[in-house]
């Protein structure tokens, strides 16, 4: 069982969208998925992509993905990577695919002189938290994530 990681290509759009839906179902958030496969393909593979994806494969078959983008730390004065989604299909968990995806992002950070790799995890997702703890990922408990969407976002935009 060999796990490899490669950058996604346009032919992966359907697989990636399937992974997104599977992740949303696992997180009990499938009802919140508004994106379409076409949206995703445009953002990942359009003229000026600002979203990126790596695919983990086991013996050539896709088993997981990491969707990420560059962020910036004003305090560190350097870019970093924000991991938006990490998902490995249940039947491939434990073979090293998640770790391989994170390793590939860490290697990108090192190669490009980036300051950090960060992500969020749901409070109830104990298996993921244990996995991240095992990698040495520090919890940022002093920060609280805030978000504006939908009506609140429109209201602020309109003044």
Residues identified as active-site: 132
Q: How many CA atoms lie within 13 A of 112 on its CB side?
A: 15
Find where tokens 């995703």 sit.
Answer: 40
Spell out the SS3 assignment of 104-120.
Answer: HHHHHHHHHCCCCEEEC
CA distances from 54 to 69, 95, 128, 131 (A): 11, 17, 19, 19
CA distances from 142 to 53, 55, 118, 139, 145 (A): 29, 32, 15, 9, 10
């Amino acid at each position: 069982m060999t796990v490899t990681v490669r950058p996604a290509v346009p032919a992966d759009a359907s697989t990636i969208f399937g992974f997104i839906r599977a992740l949303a179902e696992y997180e009990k958030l499938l009802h919140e998925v508004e994106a379409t496969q076409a949206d995703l393909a445009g953002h990942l593979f359009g003229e000026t992509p600002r979203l990126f994806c790596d695919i983990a494969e086991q013996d050539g078959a896709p088993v997981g993905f990491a969707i990420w983008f560059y962020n910036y730390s004003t305090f560190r004065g350097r870019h970093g990577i924000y991991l938006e989604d990490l998902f490995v299909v249940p039947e491939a968990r434990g073979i090293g695919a998640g770790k391989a995806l994170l390793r590939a992002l860490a290697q990108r950070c090192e190669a490009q002189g980036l300051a950090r790799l960060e992500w969020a995890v749901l409070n109830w997702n104990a298996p993921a938290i244990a996995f991240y703890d095992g990698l040495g990922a520090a919890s940022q408990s002093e920060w609280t994530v805030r978000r504006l969407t939908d009506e609140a976002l429109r209201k602020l935009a309109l003044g």
